[in-house]
Amino acid sequence: MKVGFIGLGNMGQPIASNLIKAGHELTVYNRTKSRAEELLSLGAQVADSPGQAAQEAEVLITMLANDAAVEQVIFGTENSTGAIEELPTGAIHISMSTISAACGQQLASVHAQAGQGYISAPVFGRPEAAAKLWVIAAGDSQQIEQCRPLFDAISQGVFIVGEEPSKANIVKLAGNFMIASMLEAFGESFALMQKSGVEPKQFLEIINTALFKSPIYENYGKLIVEEKYEPAGFKLSLGLKDVRLVLEAAETATVPMPLASIIHDHFLSGVARGYGDIDWAGLGLINALDAGIEQKPDQ
Amino acid sequence: MKVGFIGLGNMGQPIASNLIKAGHELTVYNRTKSRAEELLSLGAQVADSPGQAAQEAEVLITMLANDAAVEQVIFGTENSTGAIEELPTGAIHISMSTISAACGQQLASVHAQAGQGYISAPVFGRPEAAAKLWVIAAGDSQQIEQCRPLFDAISQGVFIVGEEPSKANIVKLAGNFMIASMLEAFGESFALMQKSGVEPKQFLEIINTALFKSPIYENYGKLIVEEKYEPAGFKLSLGLKDVRLVLEAAETATVPMPLASIIHDHFLSGVARGYGDIDWAGLGLINALDAGIEQKPDQ
Amino acid sequence: MKVGFIGLGNMGQPIASNLIKAGHELTVYNRTKSRAEELLSLGAQVADSPGQAAQEAEVLITMLANDAAVEQVIFGTENSTGAIEELPTGAIHISMSTISAACGQQLASVHAQAGQGYISAPVFGRPEAAAKLWVIAAGDSQQIEQCRPLFDAISQGVFIVGEEPSKANIVKLAGNFMIASMLEAFGESFALMQKSGVEPKQFLEIINTALFKSPIYENYGKLIVEEKYEPAGFKLSLGLKDVRLVLEAAETATVPMPLASIIHDHFLSGVARGYGDIDWAGLGLINALDAGIEQKPDQ
Amino acid sequence: MKVGFIGLGNMGQPIASNLIKAGHELTVYNRTKSRAEELLSLGAQVADSPGQAAQEAEVLITMLANDAAVEQVIFGTENSTGAIEELPTGAIHISMSTISAACGQQLASVHAQAGQGYISAPVFGRPEAAAKLWVIAAGDSQQIEQCRPLFDAISQGVFIVGEEPSKANIVKLAGNFMIASMLEAFGESFALMQKSGVEPKQFLEIINTALFKSPIYENYGKLIVEEKYEPAGFKLSLGLKDVRLVLEAAETATVPMPLASIIHDHFLSGVARGYGDIDWAGLGLINALDAGIEQKPDQ
């Protein structure tokens, strides 16, 4: 398939690369052009603007940091026309970014007005293992089937959660909330262990062996136990953004989420104290600081 | 070994049974005597009082509901002498109950004064699979070694967390807090899904497949999705007790635990609204009620 | 002065009336035209559109429910041109509504571009006593001086909090947060009193006599004690909106506000359970329900 | 009346002094004897032990720091017999300390067994103005009438809240919770003001002039605005104790109090970070630190 691909960050790059390897024709765009070089060597075209990446695409994929970045690329800025104006009628925009439910909803509606398709398809998984991602897709079921070869090339499987695109965004956001809840619970427990004279490392081993048996508990637990908050796999400031978006979705749905509120406040305190760029497992650090435990995050 | 065993509840009965099967001589006591019958048929002696169960024991095991129950059995009441007065010098009391750190500490000190040993050894695991428990032990290392044949008979393994017995109690309590955190996160997420038009069941499948890969997430998640809060595997009112004990340990250690506070308040609201006897997964129900979702817990 | 006045709700009507009584020439607009009748009889002109109210004004005052209402009136809708297009160059827009800091900021900037002045001037006080309001004003100091005769006609005094208009909005929002905090504290305390056998009414009398000595404590405390949540003086759903705007301002300023988060979640639960239209003192009801106390809000 | 008086701290000393001035015969006891000197010069007898202070008393008043201190004085320690053994039959113990409801209840029951009376009578007010205190009394109404001359000598008035002594303790604790709620709301609001460019001092002036009109808002607000946390009028660690006792009473009454939980966690964090000895208005400092605002509490 002819694919326009915008956003070559930590996640975008390996996804684009896997699409090329699976035989798709990619025209890629990234604000910092140098990030496109590797893909150029794999055979991708490199576009000079979002519009150019969209021009002849059957499918346009965006993988960007947040709502604002997606809106700039799709609707354009003072200096550049938006991709929506160049994307052919009948083409489909797949947004893989972790954006708000409201943004997903808006994209669905403007693309429909422009005679284009739209799928929200955020992913779970780590960039290192891009072929092992899981796709959470919502949108018109025919459009999703049409894009299946692309999803197959980059993931272990696709979960289709409905016709309304925003549902996929909500699932992705709530998934991140579930992880953040685990981080907060770890942070509080480890602080308790440390000040009660139990090795946090041993506590982690015990609860994961005897209770959770979960690789994600093991990996994140270890990050906190070893205070390895840098370099960030996923920045604390992005954790803040995602939990804020969860709370926005919850407000729309009229659902109180007090645990999400607490995590939000802890992330916000982390950013306020200067830790926005460390890993979001840094909830461990915030809890340690609140408990009067001295930690040195950057050693 | 000659073992006195007090407390034949959901957990106590299968543990006692496994000890007998492993060849140990048991004298069992339970307030409601009928619960001892099955063990009688397996070859146990049945005592008429806690003191009698302790009388000739090398090791006295208690598996009871809370601090108060343990204190009554060990220190006695107006009507019966406590086990501590009958337990031979040099014998060891193993407390497997989920009790407070303070109670664990106190037991250690009174037994030491009485020339007896003491180990805090609460367990993780489900009664159905009593031989697959995990033991968290703290106490004098020689005493723990002495009791190892007993631990081996009832568990997959022993984690030794220190010489101070209360440390084992804190680890057990914090483990339960980790589970309760998962329940709260589920409760909030499922309410969000329900009011956003996503099937909670599918959300559960997605996050456990793509993120947690944890049997405990699968089992508890299912309980909430299916609103199967009765019969209770572990009562909500016991969840309240355990989180309160976590907060007491946290106060002693000077560690703020805002997530534990929220869970405490939700459990307390559950008890106040009449749901103390449903499963602690009922945090799902409390969150649903707070979100204005009608649920019928007893169907 | 020639004043355009848009928004004749509970607060707008008495304010407009006081301006007329003080000798100012008013052209008023309200979506529901019937609300303008009383002012007509006092000598006001009645406009058919926001634009018409703005047309010949030296000062345009808006007193509306929220950001969206202000934006519609100022920027127009599909069916009507916005007031900003009709307001003469050099005229000043005074926004008295409780709007977000972001909205205040945006209005300042678009009016400046249009060669018009802008002041954020929300008020504290009850409609019954409109001449006893307090004005919180922020904007260009010369513009504020120019409008002083208007402020004097409707208030006991003006607090000028800076040149940046959004500051006045933040002060108003934080003031409402302070009140909501009192309501939440009352709600929790009264539930405790009720379930501990102390008359909430007596508790109120004691703490206000011995501690706070505050009319606002007396009035709101009484509302909760007497469960007089209807008719609403200020709706619970508006309380939710204001605390959400506080949290937005706090996110912008990177300030965690856990108490605001809790109140937000309680208001949201109130709306979810069907209590959006009762008075925001209904935090008392939400806390009573969470404590398992049966209350009947509409009797 | 013949009065034994135990506990000559900040509150005890001026109360005792006012009782003497009103013509009562006092025998006073304080652990640190030097604090009794001023009262000696006013005509008090000075006792060498709690028991001696109680010996010939018609009424025994205790004004001590916490449950433990009251229990030591009343029930004795290894080294000294308790006051309860020396207090004549028919005499009344008035506990003015801020103790737990459970402790109040227990004292009532043991004194009844000993043929003595018991009243819980904690006070609101500042030591500087000891004659302007307010007494919250609960107990047998005849006993309270009997003690009225004493209450009159030290207060502006007595609120009688029931026959069950613990009710007075709960009212006192909940009153302190109401104050702490105000402190927390101030702390969060001031941090928001500071980081939004509004003078906290002006915000305080505005909300107290336009909304609360309360001397306690003015005084405590000023403490936080001026960061005058030392010397402490009431220590942060005592605030922690009182909110913990509120939460204990709430658990007993099955009432969730999420705002009390948050304040508890903030006080606990304050103690953990080394601020246990500053004034409880230091909630302002904790919120400032969490918001990344540098403050220097000891200047």
Q: pLDDT tens digit string along A17-27?
A: 999 999 999 99
Q: Which of residues 35-94 of B touch C (CB under 8 A)?
A: none
| SS3 of chain A: helix, strand, coil, percent, to 5 | 55, 15, 30
- When computed from its CA atoms, the radius of gyration of chain B, rounded to whole angstroms, is 20
pLDDT at B67 exceeding the cut of 90:
yes
pLDDT at A157 exceeding the cut of 70:
yes
C-alpha separations of B273 from B285, C227, C290, D169 in Å: 11, 20, 7, 26
**Residue D129 pLDDT grade (very low, low, confident, very high; cuts 50, 70, 90):** low
Termini Cα distance of chain D? 46
Strands (E), B24-76: 25-29, 45-46, 59-62
All domains in chain C, ordered by first residue:
2-163 (3.40.50.720), 170-290 (1.10.1040.10)
Q: What six digits make up the tokens of A95?
A: 């947004």
Locate the chain C residue with the closest alpha carbon to B272. C292
Which residues does residue C26 pair with via DSSP β-bridges, in sequence order?
Answer: C3
Which residues does residue B117 pair with via DSSP β-bridges, in sequence order?
Answer: B92
Closest by alpha carbon to D279, among D180, D185, D178, D177? D180
Q: Which residues contact D3 (CB under 8 A, 6 or more apart)?
A: D19, D24, D25, D26, D27, D57, D58, D59, D60, D61, D150
Q: What was the pLDDT predicted at B296? A: 56
Q: In this complex, do D254 and B266 lie within 8 Å of one another by their Cβ atoms? A: no
Q: What was the pLDDT predicted at C299? A: 42
Q: How far is A124 from chain B (nearest CA, A)?
A: 6
Q: What was the pLDDT predicted at B294? A: 76
Q: In this complex, do B268 and D250 lie within 8 Å of one another by their Cβ atoms? A: yes
Q: How far is D213 from chain C (nearest CA, A)?
A: 6
pLDDT at A297 exceeding the cut of 60:
no
Contact with chain B for residue C291, Cβ under 8 A: yes
pLDDT digits (tens, 9 = 90+) for B174-208: 999 999 999 999 999 999 999 999 999 999 999 99
Contact with chain B for residue D258, Cβ under 8 A: yes
Nearest to C124 among D101, D185, D210 (CB): D210
pLDDT digits (tens, 9 = 90+) for D140-162: 999 999 999 999 999 999 999 99
Q: In this complex, do A261 and C257 lie within 8 Å of one another by their Cβ atoms? A: no
Tell me the one-letter amino acid at C50: P
Q: What percent of chain B has pLDDT over 90?
A: 92
Q: What was the pLDDT predicted at A299? A: 42
Contact with chain A for residue C1, Cβ under 8 A: no
Locate the chain B residue with the closest alpha carbon to D257. B265
Q: How far is B175 from chain A (nearest CA, A)?
A: 6
pLDDT digits (tens, 9 = 90+) for A197-246: 999 999 999 999 999 999 999 999 999 999 999 999 999 999 999 999 99
Tally C-beta pairs within 8 A across C and D.
Answer: 203
d(CA C15, CA C63): 9
Q: What was the pLDDT predicted at C294? A: 76
pLDDT at B297 exceeding the cut of 80:
no
Q: In this complex, do A198 and B167 lie within 8 Å of one another by their Cβ atoms? A: yes
Q: What residues of chain B lie within 8 A of the CB of D256, using their CB?
A: 265-266, 268-269, 272
Q: What is the mean pLDDT of residues A62-66?
A: 95
Contact with chain C for residue D189, Cβ under 8 A: yes
Tell me the one-letter amino acid at C13: Q
Which residues does residue D41 pair with via DSSP β-bridges, in sequence order?
Answer: none
Nearest to C268 among A256, A266, A269 (CB): A256
Which one is catalytic: D172, D195, D201, D228? Answer: D172
- Chain A interface mutation, best of D290, D293, D294, highest count of A Cβ atoms under 10 Å: D290
Which residues does residue C134 pair with via DSSP β-bridges, in sequence order?
Answer: C124, C157
Q: What was the pLDDT predicted at A298? A: 47
Q: What was the pLDDT predicted at C187? A: 98
Q: What six digits make up the tokens of D168?
A: 């007075």
Q: In this complex, do B261 and D266 lie within 8 Å of one another by their Cβ atoms? A: no
- Using CB atoms, which chains have 3+ pairs under 8 A with C? A, B, D
Q: What residues of chain C lie within 8 A of the CB of A259, using their CB?
A: none
* Residue D245 near residue D173, CB atoms below 8 Å: yes
Ranges in chain C, pLDDT < 70: 128-131, 295-299
- When computed from its CA atoms, the radius of gyration of chain C, rounded to whole angstroms, is 20
**Centroid of chain to Cα B281:** 15
Q: What are phi and psi of D155, to 5 degrees?
A: -145, 165
- pLDDT, chain A, mean: 95
Reduce the secondary structure of chain D to three states and give it as a string.
CEEEEECCCCCHHHHHHHHHHCCCEEEEECCCHHHHHHHHHHCCEECCCHHHHHCCCCEEEECCCCHHHHHHHHHECCCCECHHHHCCCCCEEEECCCCCHHHHHHHHHHHHHCCCEEEECCEECCHHHHHHEEEEEEECHHHHHHHHHHHHHHEEEEEECCCCCHHHHHHHHHHHHHHHHHHHHHHHHHHHHHHHCCCHHHHHHHHHHHHHCCHHHHHHHHHHHCCCCCCCCCEHHHHHHHHHHHHHHHHHCCCCCHHHHHHHHHHHHHHHCCCCCCEHHHHHHHHHHHCCCCCCCCC
**Residue B81 pLDDT grade (very low, low, confident, very high; cuts 50, 70, 90):** confident
Contact with chain C for residue A250, Cβ under 8 A: yes
Q: In this complex, do D268 and B254 lie within 8 Å of one another by their Cβ atoms? A: yes
Q: What residues of chain D lie within 8 A of the CB of A274, using their CB?
A: 292
Q: In this complex, do D272 and A292 lie within 8 Å of one another by their Cβ atoms? A: yes
d(CA C62, CA C53): 10
Q: What is the mean pLDDT of residues D202-209?
A: 98
Q: Which of residues 92-131 of A touch B (CB under 8 A)?
A: 101, 124-125
d(CA B87, CA B68): 19
Q: What was the pLDDT predicted at D139? A: 97
C-alpha separations of C176 from A189, C173, C212, C227, D216 in Å: 36, 5, 18, 21, 18
Q: What six digits make up the tokens of C55?
A: 């047309």
Q: What residues of chain C lie within 8 A of the CB of D259, using their CB?
A: 181, 184-185, 188, 259, 262
Q: How far is D268 from chain B (nearest CA, A)?
A: 6
d(CA A179, CA A89): 39
Nearest to D292 among A258, A273, A292 (CB): A273
Q: What was the pLDDT predicted at A130? A: 61
pLDDT at A267 exceeding the cut of 90:
yes
Q: What six digits make up the tokens of C159?
A: 């607090």
Contact with chain D for residue A262, Cβ under 8 A: no
pLDDT digits (tens, 9 = 90+) for A175-186: 999 999 999 999
Higher per-residue pLDDT: A79 or C174: C174
Map residue B137 onto helix, strand or coil.
Answer: strand
pLDDT at B127 exceeding the cut of 80:
no
**Active-site positions of C?**
172
Tell me the one-letter amino acid at D22: A
Q: What is the mean pLDDT of residues D237-251?
A: 97
Higher per-residue pLDDT: A35 or C268: C268
* Residue B206 near residue B221, CB atoms below 8 Å: no
pLDDT at A296 exceeding the cut of 70:
no
Nearest to C196 among D182, D197, D253 (CB): D253
Q: What residues of chain C lie within 8 A of the CB of D207, using their CB?
A: 124, 174-175, 178
Q: What is the mean pLDDT of residues B5-10?
A: 94
Q: Which of residues 132-171 of D touch A (CB under 8 A)?
A: none
Tell me the one-letter amino acid at A5: F
d(CA A233, CA C240): 35
Closest by alpha carbon to D258, among C106, C222, C247, B259? B259
pTM value surpassing 0.80: yes
Closest by alpha carbon to B137, among C289, A202, D280? A202
Q: How far is A174 from chain C (nearest CA, A)?
A: 17
Q: What was the pLDDT predicted at A255? A: 98
- Unique residue bearing structure tokens 């050894």: B121
Q: How far is D169 from chain A (nearest CA, A)?
A: 30
Q: In this complex, do D188 and C258 lie within 8 Å of one another by their Cβ atoms? A: yes
Locate the chain C residue with the closest alpha carbon to A247. C265
Q: What residues of chain B lie within 8 A of the CB of A292, using their CB?
A: 254
Q: What residues of chain B lie within 8 A of the CB of C292, using their CB?
A: 269, 272-274
Contact with chain B for residue C213, Cβ under 8 A: no
Contact with chain A for residue C258, Cβ under 8 A: yes
